[in-house]
Amino acid sequence: MRNKFVVVIATTVGLLSLLGGTSTAAPAPDAGSHGRGAACTDVRIPGELPVPPVGMSAQQDVTIGADCLPHLSAVRFVPTSTQAKQPAQATTKARTAAATGTRQVSSWSEMYDCCKILMTGLYTTSTWNTVGNQVADAVTTTRTANNREPWDAGWSLETSGKTEDGPRVTAHAEFSYRGIFDATGLWYANTHDTSVLLKADGTASCEFDIKLRHTFVGWNSVRGCA
């Protein structure tokens, strides 16, 4: 009997691994699991980071606590040469930009599940010049990331875009989820907003806001500015 239980457990684990590929969240509550107690509803994760000197990145981790509130780590300053979020050529580009007088700043806003699997992300890179104490020639590019599962399931990008209003650049991305953990597609939704303020003195600041329709204790966000 004991051996039979071991076989059943092993088979179940193997089946879940086959079906899910990667886990992104606990199952959506239904009539039999609504009182699970680990789910949080309508959670926001706002914040702001300074742009550090060239060659450095400012980073912060945010974890959803048992009180369903975001708990912030201390801001860390890390060399971009050791920062995986930045492309390998980021430091070279930054040095070139500094030498030519062109400024550049990058931001990233990522949402992970409790297993450290990236669910959704929004990334921006802005370059600009200063002419007569004014921001000029500002150009911003954006990209997104979302975790997919087998059989065309998982997180999907619903909409994304950017708005350039003078020295302020705002990027927006909305993601939905339909997959092994919620077949309805109505339970999970992540929205990322990032705003970068470009300044004539060559400095900048990054503002972040993530909205989660539902989340669970242990989900965490990583944000950065460089």
- pLDDT given for residue 202 in this prediction: 74
* Closest to 194 in 3D by CA, of 182, 207, 178: 207
Residue spans of the chain under pLDDT 50: 1-37, 84, 86-99
Asked if 194 and 51 touch (Cβ cutoff 8 Å), the reply is no
- pLDDT given for residue 198 in this prediction: 86
- pLDDT given for residue 54 in this prediction: 83
Distance (Å, whole) CA 172 – CA 123: 10
- pLDDT given for residue 112 in this prediction: 97
- pLDDT given for residue 82 in this prediction: 58
In the Cβ-directed half-sphere of 103, how many Cα atoms lie within 13 Å? 25
CA geometry: angle 57, 60, 66, nearest 5 deg: 170
pTM of the full predicted structure? 0.77
- pLDDT given for residue 210 in this prediction: 98
Residue 82, number of CB atoms within 10 A of its CB: 9
Distance of alpha carbon 10 from the chain centroid: 33
- pLDDT given for residue 203 in this prediction: 81
Distance of alpha carbon 140 from the chain centroid: 18
Distance (Å, whole) CA 166 – CA 73: 32
Q: How far apart are the first and last CA of the chain?
A: 58
Taking phi over 0 as left and psi of -120 to 50 as alpha, with beta for the rest, 137 belongs to left
- pLDDT given for residue 83 in this prediction: 53
Distance (Å, whole) CA 36 – CA 31: 11
Taking phi over 0 as left and psi of -120 to 50 as alpha, with beta for the rest, 224 belongs to beta
- pLDDT given for residue 87 in this prediction: 42
Asked if 204 and 168 touch (Cβ cutoff 8 Å), the reply is no
Boundaries of every domain in the chain = 2-225
